[in-house]
Amino acid sequence: MLKGRHLIDPMDLSIEEIDEVLELAQRIIREPERFSSACRGRILATLFYEPSTRTRLSFETAMLRLGGEVIGFSEASSSSASKGESVADTIRTVECYADIAAMRHPKEGSARVAAANSRTMPVINAGDGGHHHPTQTLTDLLTIRELKGTLEDLTVGLCGDLKFGRTVHSLIKTLARFRGNSFTLISPPELKVPDYIRDEVLARGGIPFVEYERLENAIASLDILYMTRVQRERFFNEDDYLRLKNSYILDAEKLKKAKSDMIVLHPLPRVNEIAVEVDSDPRAAYFRQAKYGMYVRMALIMKLLGVEA
C-alpha cells in the first residue's frame, strides 16, 4: 500500500508498486469520468520554488480532474521563502491546510527535508535540483507501456546530456529493473553518463549497454529514443561544442534510419534538439508523453491518499 507514504526517489517504489500506479493510470485513461469525484474534498498543495510548466500544471490539472482542489505558489518570490522561511517550516505550515503536497526546489535534498518534517501529509518530489524527478520517470514508463505495450525487452537510446540530466539517470535506474532491457548511450565525451550509473547500475547489474558519440550511428537499432538537450554551457571548449552540437539534433533525415515503430520521447522543454519537422512524424510521442504525465499523477495522488479506485 502506498497510502500516507512520500515519493522522493523513483527507487522508493517497488516494481509491483510501479505496476499498481501504471495500471491505475491506464484505467483512468480508459474511463476518466469514473474518477472525476475520486478526490472530492481533498486539497493538493503545489510548492514550486522555481518555474515549471508541465510538472506544475499537470499536478494541478490532475487534482482538479479528480474533483479535488489546489493551493500553492509558483515561485519562491511569491511565498514566505522570500522572507527567509525554511522548507521545514513551510511544510509544517502547509500540512495544516492540505492533504498532499508536490514540491519542486532547486536545492538537492530539499524534498527529503520536506518529507522528514511532514507528519501527516504525503510529499511528492517534483524535482530537487540535479537529484530526482520521480513523477517524470513514472510519466516516461506510462508512455512506453501505452505505446509499446511493455516495459521489457526494449533497446532504449538516451541522447544528449547524459551527465547532468536527472531524468536520464532515473529512467536508466528504473528500466534496468525490468527484464531484458538494454541501453544505447549517445553523448559527447564531455557529457557521458556518470560512472556510478555505468558501473553500479549497468555493469554491476549485467545490463547490456553500448556507447556512441553520434546519433546517426546508433538510431537504427532503437525501440525508444529519449532526447535531451546538449547545453553549450557544459563545454569548456567552444570548438568542441560547435563540432558536436548538430549530431544531437533529431531531424527527418536521421529518422529515415530508425525503425518504423520507434518512439521519440523528450522530457521537455526542447530548444533545438528535435527539429519542428519531426513533430508530424507518428513516432514523435513527446506531447503525448506530457499528457500521460497528468494521468500518472492522478493515479499517484489517489494511491498516496489511499483513495479507492
Write the pLDDT tens digit of every residue in 155-205.
999 999 898 787 899 999 999 999 999 999 999 888 899 998 999 899 888
Among 54, 192, 234, 257, the active-site one is 54
Give catalytic status of residue 119 as yes or no.
no
Among 46, 55, 90, 228, the active-site one is 55
**Cβ atoms within 10 Å of 205's Cβ, excluding its own:** 11
pTM of the model: 0.92
Give catalytic status of residue 228 as yes or no.
no
Give catalytic status of residue 56 as yes or no.
no
Residue type at position 240: D
Among 42, 65, 133, 303, the active-site one is 133
* Mean local confidence (pLDDT), 6-30: 96
Per-residue model confidence (pLDDT) at position 52: 83
Give catalytic status of residue 291 as yes or no.
no
Separation CA 163–CA 223 (nearest Å): 22
Of the pLDDT bands very low, low, confident and very high (cuts 50, 70, 90), residue 234 is: low
Q: How high is the mean pLDDT of the chain?
A: 91
Per-residue model confidence (pLDDT) at position 276: 96
Per-residue model confidence (pLDDT) at position 80: 59
Q: Quick check: 258 pLDDT over 80? A: yes
Of the pLDDT bands very low, low, confident and very high (cuts 50, 70, 90), residue 132 is: confident
What are 168's three cell numbers?
A: 536520464
Q: Quick check: 75 pLDDT over 70? A: no
Per-residue model confidence (pLDDT) at position 243: 74
| 10-132+293-305 CATH, one of 3.20.20.140, 3.40.50.1820, 3.30.499.10, 3.40.50.1370 | 3.40.50.1370
* Mean local confidence (pLDDT), 198-221: 93
Among 83, 119, 120, 179, the active-site one is 83
- Give the 3-state DSSP-derived string for the chain, with helices as H, strands as E and coil as C: CCCCCCECCHHHCCHHHHHHHHHHHHHHHHCHHHHCCCCCCCEEEEEECCCCCHHHHHHHHHHHHCCCEEEEECCHHHCHHHHCCCHHHHHHHHCCCCCEEEEEECCCCHHHHHHHCCCCCCEEEEEECCCCCHHHHHHHHHHHHHHHCCCCCCEEEEECCCCCCHHHHHHHHHHCCCCCCEEEEECCHHHCCCHHHHHHHHHCCCCCEEEECCHHHCHHHCCEEEECCCCHHHCCCHHHHHHHHHHHCECHHHHCCCCCCCEEECCCCCCCCECHHHHHCCCECHHHHHHHHHHHHHHHHHHHHCCCC
- Single out the residue of 106, 248, 240, 102 nearest to residue 166, CA to CA: 106
Among 104, 132, 229, 254, the active-site one is 104
Of the pLDDT bands very low, low, confident and very high (cuts 50, 70, 90), residue 309 is: confident
Give catalytic status of residue 83 as yes or no.
yes
Instruction: Domain ranges for the chain, please list them.
Output: 10-132+293-305, 135-289
Spell out the residues 6+ positions from residue 245 whose beta carbon is closer than 8 angstroms to its own.
230, 232
**Cβ atoms within 10 Å of 272's Cβ, excluding its own:** 12
Per-residue model confidence (pLDDT) at position 42: 98
Q: Quick check: 62 pLDDT over 80? A: yes
Superfamily for domain range 135-289: Aspartate/ornithine carbamoyltransferase (3.40.50.1370)
Interhelix angle 286-305/15-30, rounded to 10 degrees, is 110
How do residues 85-100 score in pLDDT, each as one tens digit?
799 999 999 999 999 9
